[in-house]
Amino acid sequence: MTKLNVAIWVIIAALHLAVIARAILLAGRDPYARAAWLLLLIALPFAGLILYVLFGEPWTSKRFRQRGRLVYEELLPFAPSPAIHSGGEGPNANAFRTFEGASRWPTSTGNLARLAPDSDTAIAMLVEDIDSAAQSVHLSFYIWLDDNNGREVVEAVCRAARRGVTCRIAADAIGSRALINSDLWTMMRQAGARLCKSLEVPFGMAFLAGHRTDLRNHRKVAVIDGSITYCGSQNCADPAFLIKRRFAPWVDVLARFEGPVVRQADIIFASAWTVETGEDLGAIMSAQPPRPSPTGIPAIATGTGPLSPRGTMSEMFAAVLAAAQSSATITTPYFAPDPALLAAIVAAARRGVAVRIVFPHRNDSRIVGAIGRAYYPLLVEAGVKIFEFRGGLLHAKTMVVDDTLALIGSSNMDRRSLDLNFENNILLESREFATQLSNRQNLWLDDAIEIDSDNVTRRPLARRLADNLLTMIAPLF
């Protein structure tokens, strides 16, 4: 072996040891994630080194972080400041306070909420609102497809832009790449819409000035004239979801809101838009926010992501679960929780709350689906009832607690939503809306099978080994 080869091996070994030290010393990482990366780096030195550099930390450049935080600080004064939710010391108060701490604005009061009856109707409602827009249309989707629903929204945007409405359209550069490269994207630009390819993948040295390549804008935000907003799990696509049609139909929820919470959602949109395009939306946000309705409900919109303090989304989920006194029903397609979230679910069940979780039976992510099932034994032993939906891919991310508190949005209960992706959710307190959402959950339960707790807990040795290995590597996904 030549001196050059020896030198190369010494450099590689030193780099490998440096990355191992980095994985151990990184502040804020939970012990399970630390152990998983350490195991990977030791077991697969070369592959592990490359994977860690690319995916080991939810990193963004200093410039990106500073810009994002500065923009958000500049937009915060435009958040409406009605009386903070008067929940007093009731069971839901701390849940709202947790969301207030994450968003840094108070819970808004006097909001109206309506749950769309199905995915196609949700798009029809959105198109109708865009067609009625007089001033502005702000849309941000993770996945926007060139299908019936996707085209309907594109055509509505074009009509609005041509009549002088300012249309700001953001689509994730990876999730919506097919649309971005299609004639529909060009149609919107030619009609006068302002377009943004959200979180474009940086190449070359730009990688160092940007962000982790797989960090995505997973938000689904629509704000019309600053007076109407939509929030939920639904992408801009048909339930048939052509890019993954063998899992269809994709089952989602989308809710329409009016009231001061709309301004909060618009700030979430504006913060991302300004960082990426440089356009200052301060003048727009300085307009009078929507007036509260005297018959409205308390609600708060919150955006999370890699610029949030670590663990923010997990804390928000846990706070909603901590409010539960009698029941909590959760739907999520992807389940790879961090220890705090898992502990919150288990604790709720152990204190006597009737916790139900509905997962899809067939998951478009085989690995994440397997990781989710690996947690079944721990969940059922705590008293959680687990169901698997058979009527397609249940993509809805919902939680209803005690028939009064409801959470709806884009966040899954996996590591991507908890640590990596930009997400948006709305927490609200309304017996009427919670009942509507609970009824929707019950429809999914009618088309689901309950997992037999005895079969789950009496696993053969090989299955226990596989499940334990999956939970060990869960932090990598």
Residues that are catalytic: 218, 220, 225, 395, 397, 402
Cis geometry, peptide bond prior to residue 475 (ω within 30 degrees of 0):
no
How many residues make up the chain in this entry? Answer: 477
Q: How many CB atoms lie within 10 A of CB 132?
A: 12
Q: Are the beta carbons of 223 and 269 closer than 8 angstroms?
A: yes
How many angstroms separate the most distant Cα atoms in the chain? Answer: 81
**Among 329, 287, 311, 259, residue whose Cα is nearest residue 107:** 259
DSSP string of 164-182, one letter each residue: T-EEEEEEETTTTHHHHTS
| 104 burial via Cβ count (<10 Å: 0-12, 13-18, 19+) | exposed
Both ends of the chain: CA-CA distance in Å? 39
Q: Report the relative pairing of strands 166-172 and 354-360 from DSSP bridges.
A: unpaired
The DSSP code for 417 is I
**Among 320, 330, 355, 475, residue whose Cα is nearest residue 412:** 330
Q: Are the beta carbons of 37 and 52 closer than 8 angstroms?
A: yes
DSSP strand E in 16-165: where? 108-115, 136-141
CA angle 129, 100, 32 (to 5 degrees): 105
Which two three-digit tokens encode residue 440? 């929707």
| 445 burial via Cβ count (<10 Å: 0-12, 13-18, 19+) | middle
